[in-house]
Amino acid sequence: MLTKKTIRTERFIQFGEGGFLRGFADWMIKKMNDRTDFEGSVVVVQPIKQGLCDLLTAQNCNYTHLIRGKEGVECDVIDVISRCVDPYRDFEAYLALADIPTVRYVISNTTEAGIAFDPADKITDAPPRSFPAKLTRLLYRRYQKGLDGFVLLPCELIDRNGDRLKETVLQYAALWGLEEAFTRWVCEKNEFCNTLVDRINTGYPKDEQLDLGYEDRMLNTSEYFHLWVIETALDLGRELPFAKAGLNVIITKNELEKYRTRKVRILNGAHTSFVPFALLSGFTTVKECLDDEEMHAFIRRCVFEEIIPTLDLPREELCDYAENVLTRFENPYIKHYLTSIVLNSVSKFKVRVLPSLLEYRRRFGKTPQLLVFSLAKLIEFYQKGEPNDLPEVTDYLKTHTVAEILSNTALWDTDLSMLTEEVAAHVDPSK
């Protein structure tokens, strides 16, 4: 079943063969092929020396993808990868990808550390170590062939990932002394898109016995929800039929930051607002919290009554996203332990929850009671529970009063003394 392959036009180069891109971008390309006349395929480049290309190639680059959640289970065979290229074994075959005129898009997911400049990389390396250096070699070959550049869609989870990737490529061009005409070509003939990606891919289900009726060593699993926000001046929706295929892809010229804020404040902020309280209350997983009537109500009120009113996107859109978040939290196939979320909770609260709390006060002239309660339970958890944070942060919260903690601008980047009375009222003083 996994050996059948439809020959399609190679339109994408993809750096990364792990579970995320196979359950996100490749799954989307499959949907565009199935539901439109797109007919595109992907050449996968193995970005590090040890990878999964041999396993993929052994299955003719096909694999099964299972989507599982509260909504049900959906199974599909993804057949969009035409071939794998390992630059560590055949660097010329890798460079030759630049010669393919039909290739227009470059997708990458090389971890948050992947887009980084390493001055030790040389133009004579075959291949260079870092992903941006490899990409620079590919772009230089493309430039030398007189072809147009690429639309680059980095999926690394860093802010302004397209801008960062372009900046790093230009650093290599300068380091290697490449001609100014190449630098102009990089800037004028290539589109480095900033993106935001959101989907939990749970990879190969190692602890489960699944009967597919055939062997698949590259079986991949994910949740139902998916979101790709792409910031670009191009009319990319005309090139890539995401909308026609029914995919949750937002193409925007300059509003990516609003969607990033939405994700951080609602999804991540919801986690951070209830986890210390939940751990103090004896819960162990996110789903347990959603299954409990009182905790579920607390989380829902935090999100809909105190976080959403501080955001600037249309309320209907925010509420729809929030409902999706709560459904994701209830996924029976994902065991998300609270202890893994609570790591470095003070810094997370500062970024994810505190902006909502302060913006609520600014907009409505009063304090959001549930978020203040969350802040109190955060302090109480550090004083009575088992926090996982920097020793100096943990020690400080354990040994200082609520007033001292809230007035410490080094912790919060602002003085929160005005919240002392309200926060202290919710902190259990018993040790």
Determine contact, residues 344/389, Cβ cutoff 8 Å.
yes
Same-domain pairing of 265 and 239: no
Rounded to the nearest angstrom, the gap between the alpha carbon of residue 53 and the centroid of all alpha carbons in its chain is 23
Instruction: Tell me the two tokens of residue 82.
Output: 């035409």
The reported pLDDT for the residue numbered 114 is 87
Determine the angle formed by the axes of helices 345-352 and 354-364, rounding to 10 degrees: 30
Task: Say which amino acid occupies 164.
Answer: R
Q: What is the extent of the structural domain holding 69?
A: 9-253
The reported pLDDT for the residue numbered 211 is 85
Question: Where a domain ends, among 229, 253, 277?
Answer: 253
- Whether residue 330 is contained in a domain is answered as yes
For the chain, the distance separating the N- and C-terminal CA atoms, rounded to the nearest angstrom, is 61
Instruction: Tell me the two tokens of residue 237.
Output: 């929706």
Instruction: Tell me the two tokens of residue 10.
Output: 């190679």
Per-run averaged pLDDT (10 residues), the chain, 431 residues: 83 96 98 98 95 94 96 96 97 98 97 89 97 98 98 95 98 98 98 97 86 92 97 96 98 96 96 96 96 97 98 96 97 92 93 97 98 98 93 96 97 97 89 50
Instruction: Tell me the two tokens of residue 263.
Output: 């994700």
d(CA 394, CA 347): 12
Same-domain pairing of 245 and 355: no
The reported pLDDT for the residue numbered 205 is 87
The reported pLDDT for the residue numbered 202 is 87
Question: Where a domain ends, among 212, 233, 253?
Answer: 253
Question: Where a domain ends, among 230, 253, 276?
Answer: 253
Same-domain pairing of 34 and 159: yes
Same-domain pairing of 339 and 223: no
The reported pLDDT for the residue numbered 71 is 95
Same-domain pairing of 302 and 386: yes
- Whether residue 1 is contained in a domain is answered as no
The reported pLDDT for the residue numbered 430 is 64
Same-domain pairing of 173 and 47: yes
Beta bridge partners of 44: 14, 84
Same-domain pairing of 169 and 112: yes
- Which CATH number goes with the domain that contains 18? 3.40.50.720
CA distance readout (Å), 212 to 66, 203, 208, 288: 10, 16, 12, 30
The reported pLDDT for the residue numbered 113 is 79
Same-domain pairing of 184 and 291: no
pTM summary value: 0.92
